Amino acid sequence: MKIIKNNLIISLALVMIVTTACEDKDATPESGTISGMVTFTGTWPNAGTVSISIQNAWPPTGAPYASMVITSTDLSSEQYGYTFEIVAFATYAAITVSWLDPDDSNPATNQHTLGAYGGMYPFFTQYGGTDPTAVTVSVTDYSKAGLDFSADLSLATP
Query: Letter for the amino acid at 71?
Result: T
DSSP strand E in 1-76: where?
A: 32-41, 49-55, 66-70
Q: What's the pTM?
A: 0.82
Q: Which fold is adopted by the domain 32-155?
A: Immunoglobulin-like (2.60.40)
* Helix ranges restricted to H, 57-158: none
- What pLDDT is attached to residue 26? 73
Q: Is the pLDDT at 17 greater than 90, yes or no?
A: no
Categorize the per-residue pLDDT at 141 as very low, low, confident or very high, splitting at 50, 70 and 90.
very high
Domain ranges of the chain: 32-155
**Residues 57-71: what's their mean pLDDT?**
95
Q: Is 64 exposed, middle or buried (0-12, 13-18, 19+ CB in 10 A)?
A: buried
In this prediction, residue 9 has a pLDDT band, given cuts at 50, 70 and 90, of: low
pLDDT (tens digit per residue) in 24-43: 567 899 999 999 999 999 99
- The pLDDT score that the predictor gives to residue 108 is 87
- Average pLDDT of the chain, as a whole number: 91
